[in-house]
């Protein structure tokens, strides 16, 4: 889910319309769904969006022509919550009966919650607007999945209280949760290596922020049966479990991480309820003052800031990427003390971290780290785990850069070395008030050790239509800690029948290195790796010159050139 184009909503607002060219649809949005189908996925869920004017829940081209006929999908398609009913609001169906007809004939086998099929399929079949064969086909697909899940043999097999008691929150599962959380975290900045925290050099830590001793937000939105009030381990608890009595931890909330509205009693915006901090300006300043007091008497400051879990859930679109509430004011106040300042961010989106990047000493992005998130954060901060995560998206400098992604096109007037010499710089594709580059690039992520890449080599300067090409690069851990590195491979076709992205990720390897260890890392490229949808929408390769790039992030690569021959 959600099939398809749901991530391209206009203005970044959930449920909004999407308008995607055929080339972009097939090149960018459909491939992940095809990969999932090839991996064995047996159900697809439609999105709420309309795509190029046709709601996907009633889109016969997508659900039948592409998914069934072209891709050979054998499972069933379920709508999202009341998506059939919403065909009326879209202006695509005149009423719910008409909506049921369009969705069912369009290829949606199951109506989630809306009950339009329950109410209207029988009269639609009697009126010959829906065929009995189509009904039998949909019923067969749904029953097959129930059979494959074993529900005919034991309809209660997934409602076993005894099994749940034995399996949920076991020691082994909590250890796995801790490990997954640690592996997902990304060290964005570590200027002069304040991380990991050296307990031999400090006696006290000021732990500040609304997410520092917070259970409720740790497991994020859509958390199922998670008990927010009891299950999660907080960052404060995680640090206490490691430090014991050796280091004093002083805690203050310091700020709110929810939306701040005026204290005049305003509690809604355009009739929609939004979170309210419930604090006056005096309360907020008192919280900051308390944080400053403990920071003054501590050796190092750890701030845990970010977003309320509800801000990253469905229907939680924002017009700003800044940290909500008075967290920015809190950061600036604490920074004025000139204490070593470490920032942990918890959120489900890229935030505007320009000020933090310029002013704090280290930044660790923990996302919403889950039940054992506090322990995982503490393990990383104290060096019990060496972070190795890499960003799966680009972090902009400001919301005005959005959408921003690594695999963009060059334009006819690119800024930088590719710019034609006769074009004055002021007439290139740029901003007057910002660099084009992101704050943190796709694939970025630091470690407590350092890795050096040798100049890469190619097995040949030519790749034939039936051949393969091997890139080799030596990667060395030049630090004094064991660590993991994600080595990334990108390509760029210099000329094509349709303009090509400046780089495309073609492979990666995550490898562990002992201190001082060198590994020969090899990537193999075949012509299939270089195929794309050309100008006439045929899938295949186009001979020509390519750049191949390797490195530790999309903006930190070394490049070589080869030619794909006829």
To the question of domain 6-148 being in CATH 3.20.20.300, the answer is: yes
**Does 180-381 match 6-148 at the fold level?**
no
Q: Measure the CA–CA gap between 72 and 62, rounded to whole angstroms.
A: 12
* Residue 265, pLDDT above cutoff 50: no
* Residue 387, pLDDT above cutoff 60: yes
> What pLDDT was estimated at residue 160?
85
Lowest mean pLDDT among 44-58, 256-270, 461-475: 256-270
* Residue 24, pLDDT above cutoff 60: yes
* Residue 276, pLDDT above cutoff 70: no
Q: Measure the CA–CA gap between 515 and 36, rounded to whole angstroms.
A: 38
> What pLDDT was estimated at residue 267?
38
Torsional class of 285: left (φ above 0), alpha (ψ -120 to 50), beta (otherwise): alpha
* Element (DSSP H or E) covering residue 103: helix 96-106
* Element (DSSP H or E) covering residue 305: strand 300-306
pLDDT single digits (tens) 71-123: 999 999 999 999 999 999 999 999 999 999 999 999 999 999 999 999 999 99
Average pLDDT over residues 64-71: 97
Give the Cα-Cα-Cα angle 40, 41, 47 (nearest 5 degrees).
Answer: 155
Give the Cα-Cα-Cα angle 263, 268, 270 (nearest 5 degrees).
Answer: 130
Return the CATH architecture of domain 450-564: Sandwich (2.60)
pLDDT band at 281 (very low <50, low <70, confident <90, very high): confident
> What pLDDT was estimated at residue 282?
83
Annotated catalytic, 80? yes
Catalytic site residue from 14, 19, 38, 80: 80
CA dihedral 26, 32, 38, 44 (to 10 degrees): -100
Q: Sort 256 into a burial class: Cβ within 10 Å, 0-12 / 13-18 / 19+.
A: buried
For the chain, count helices (H), then strands (E): 14, 23
Q: Whole-prediction pTM value? A: 0.94
Q: Measure the CA–CA gap between 473 and 55, rounded to whole angstroms.
A: 47
Q: Mean pLDDT across the chain, nearest whole number? A: 94
pLDDT single digits (tens) 332-353: 999 999 999 999 999 999 999 9
Angle, helices 373-381/171-184, rounded to nearest 10 degrees: 50
CATH topology of domain 180-381: Rossmann fold (3.40.50)
Domain boundaries, the chain: 6-148, 180-381, 450-564
**How many Cβ atoms sit within 10 Å of the Cβ of residue 151?**
14
């Amino acid at each position: 889910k959600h099939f398809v184009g749901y991530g391209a909503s206009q203005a970044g607002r959930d449920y909004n319309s999407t308008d995607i060219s055929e080339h972009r649809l097939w090149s960018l949005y459909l491939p992940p769904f095809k990969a999932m189908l090839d991996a064995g996925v047996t159900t697809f869920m439609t999105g709420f969006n309309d795509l190029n004017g046709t709601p996907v829940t009633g889109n016969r081209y997508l659900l039948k022509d592409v998914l069934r006929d072209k891709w050979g999908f054998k499972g069933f398609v379920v709508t999202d919550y009341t998506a059939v009913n919403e065909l009326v609001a879209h202006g695509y169906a005149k009423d719910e009966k008409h909506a049921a007809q369009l969705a069912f004939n369009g290829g949606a086998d199951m109506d989630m919650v809306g009950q339009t099929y329950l109410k209207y399929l029988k009269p639609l079949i009697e009126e010959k607007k829906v065929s009995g064969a189509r009904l039998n086909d949909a019923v067969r697909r749904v029953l097959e999945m129930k059979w494959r899940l074993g529900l005919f043999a034991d309809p209660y097999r997934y409602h076993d209280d005894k099994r749940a008691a034995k399996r949920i929150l076991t020691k082994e599962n909590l250890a796995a949760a801790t490990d997954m959380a640690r592996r997902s975290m990304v060290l964005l900045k570590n200027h002069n290596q304040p991380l990991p925290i050296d307990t031999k050099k400090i006696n006290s830590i000021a732990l500040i922020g609304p997410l520092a001793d917070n259970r409720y937000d740790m497991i994020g939105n859509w958390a199922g049966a998670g008990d927010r009030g009891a299950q999660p381990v907080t960052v404060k608890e995680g640090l206490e479990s490691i430090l014991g009595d050796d280091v004093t931890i002083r805690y203050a909330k310091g700020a709110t991480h929810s939306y701040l509205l005026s204290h005049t009693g305003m509690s809604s915006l355009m009739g929609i309820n939004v979170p309210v901090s419930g604090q006056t300006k005096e309360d907020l300043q008192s919280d900051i003052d308390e944080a400053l007091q403990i920071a003054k008497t501590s050796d190092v400051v750890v701030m845990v800031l970010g977003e309320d879990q509800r801000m990253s859930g469905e229907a939680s679109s924002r017009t700003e990427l800044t940290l909500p509430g008075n967290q920015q004011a809190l950061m600036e106040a604490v920074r004025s003390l000139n204490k070593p300042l470490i920032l942990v961010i918890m959120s489900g989106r890229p935030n505007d971290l320009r000020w933090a990047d310029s002013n704090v000493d280290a930044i660790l992005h923990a996302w919403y780290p889950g039940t054992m998130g506090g322990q995982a954060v503490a393990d990383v901060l104290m060096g019990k785990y060496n972070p190795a995560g890499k960003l799966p998206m680009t972090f902009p400098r400001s919301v005005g850069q959005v959408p921003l992604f690594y695999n963009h096109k060059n334009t006819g007037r690119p800024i930088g070395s590719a710019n034609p010499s006769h074009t004055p710089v002021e007439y290139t594709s740029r901003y007057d008030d910002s660099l084009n580059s992101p704050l943190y690039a796709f694939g970025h992520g630091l470690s407590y050790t350092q890795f050096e890449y040798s100049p890469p080599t190619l097995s040949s300067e030519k790749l034939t239509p039936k051949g393969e090409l091997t890139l080799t690069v030596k990667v060395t851990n030049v630090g004094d800690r064991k660590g993991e590195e994600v080595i990334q491979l990108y390509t760029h076709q210099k000329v094509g029948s349709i303009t090509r992205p400046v780089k495309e990720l073609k492979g990666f390897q995550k490898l562990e290195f002992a201190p001082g260890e060198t590994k020969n890392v090899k990537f193999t490229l075949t012509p299939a790796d270089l195929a794309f949808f050309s100008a006439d929408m045929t899938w295949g390769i186009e001979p020509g010159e390519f750049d191949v790039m390797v490195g530790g992030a999309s903006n930190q690569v070394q490049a070589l050139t080869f030619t794909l021959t006829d």
